[in-house]
């Protein structure tokens, strides 16, 4: 027995053809959304000055970017055993890694040089004693550059 023109294996052809034609017409008349950039933001972006936009990690690590070399591997010492919120610490680590790229940042104290970023001076001193580092450049308030003790 031959299938009827109205349906083939349970699919109704007339509604399918109607919605397919409707979809095709809608696609023909779509125009892309064109957004115009804000002149001040565009000018700063093209000039390489980010005065209106703060990069993620710039607030915390801006001072380190000026001091550290362009490449290398460093340890990041934070409040980890004493941290109140480990999730925020991991997020901070990712922001710092992104901002200081191409520097590599390890969260384990294995590298000869490192960055100290603690919330308080007392916690920073505990972390330095536990890991065997000494502070080379103190930036105050539990922050600074460190290196392994000889």
Total of domains in the chain: 1
In a domain, 14, yes or no: no
- Establish if 68 belongs to a structural domain: yes
Whether residue 142 lies inside any domain: the answer is yes
Q: Decide if 131 is inside a domain.
A: yes
Q: Which of 18-27, 33-42, 48-57 has the lowest mean pLDDT?
A: 48-57
Least confident of 22-31, 45-54, 140-149: 45-54
Q: Which domain does 113 fall in, by range?
A: 55-148
Answer yes or no: is pLDDT of 12 > 80: no
Residue 57 or residue 9, greater confidence: 57
pLDDT in tens, 81-102: 666 655 577 788 888 888 888 8
Kindly indicate the confidence band of residue 47, based on its pLDDT and cuts at 50, 70 and 90.
confident
Q: Report yes or no on 67 lying in a domain.
A: yes
Confidence at residue 86, expressed as pLDDT on a 0 to 100 scale: 59
pLDDT for residue 121: 87
d(C-alpha 27, C-alpha 4), whole Å:
31
Residue 25 within a domain: no
- Cα dist from 91 to 40, 52, 57, 88, whole Å: 30, 23, 10, 5
The pLDDT of residue 145 is above 70: yes
d(CA 83, CA 126): 13
pLDDT of residue 79: 80
Query: Which residue stretches of 57-120 are H helix?
Result: 58-67, 86-99
Instruction: Report if residue 139 sits inside a domain.
Output: yes
């Amino acid at each position: 027995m031959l299938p009827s023109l109205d349906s083939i294996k349970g699919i109704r052809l007339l509604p399918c053809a109607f919605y397919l034609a409707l979809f095709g017409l809608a696609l023909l008349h779509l125009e892309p959304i064109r957004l115009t950039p804000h002149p001040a933001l565009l000018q700063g972006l093209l000039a390489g000055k980010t005065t209106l936009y703060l990069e993620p990690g710039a607030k915390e690590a801006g001072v380190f970017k000026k001091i550290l070399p362009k490449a290398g591997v460093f340890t990041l010492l934070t409040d980890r055993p004493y941290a109140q919120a480990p999730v925020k610490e991991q997020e901070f680590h990712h922001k710092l890694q992104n901002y200081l790229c191409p520097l590599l940042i390890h969260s384990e104290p294995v590298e000869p040089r490192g960055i100290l970023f603690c919330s308080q001076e007392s916690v920073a001193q505990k972390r330095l004693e536990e890991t065997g580092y000494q502070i080379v450049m103190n930036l105050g308030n539990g922050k600074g550059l460190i290196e392994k003790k000889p």
